[in-house]
Amino acid sequence: AWLVTTAPRTRLTRLTALALGLSWLGDLALMGSGETWFLLGIGGFALAQITYVVAFLPLARSGVLRERPAVVAPYVAVWLGLMRFLAGRVGELFPVVAVYGALLIAMAVVALGVNRFVAVGAVLFVISDGVIALSNLADLAVPAAGAVVMSTYTAAQGLIAWGVRRRAEARSSLPRSVESDRHR
């Protein structure tokens, strides 16, 4: 988001760039082996999800979530279903997995307020991490899990960055008075 936007960069683009960087740190940690590296990785991704939520929340408050709050229901249902499935399978990691899952779902919900690119990217992020949880934590045989995870994760981050860029470009093309009215 940082590299593909021009100055002045918005709060949205700055926070998105930070979230992408935190995700990258999470990826690096997950290259290690053992529970410590796993927890560092999930920590990096948890911080990324929090940063995305902080970035997207102001836009979500005035968009689809305000007009149609029922759109949250499928996201909550997915989280509850996955948590119920994982509850007896991940042992003492369950609280960590549940909190991370809640952060991920919160990010996907508030992404609905940015634009369709970010919203689709967020759903792909949920799919990617869901496959990781099922295949790696619950030891479920997911066909081509690695390919599914990498393709959905890469597309997710790409769509989020692209959508944020489009949102920033649209915002920068608005007259100052219109932009001021939008953030009251």
CA distance 41 to 33: 10
Domain coordinates of the chain in residue numbers?
A: 11-182
Angle at Cα 22 formed by Cα 30 and Cα 98, nearest 5°? 65
The pLDDT, as a whole number, for residue 183 is: 45
pLDDT band, residue 172 (cuts 50/70/90): low
Place of tokens 């979530």: 65
Q: Examine the pLDDT at 2 and tell me if it is beyond 80.
A: no
Q: Does 173 score more than 50 pLDDT?
A: yes
State pLDDT tens for residues 131-144.
999 998 888 889 99
Q: Between the CA of residue 97 and those of 87, 102, 138, 180, what are the distances in Å?
A: 9, 9, 11, 40
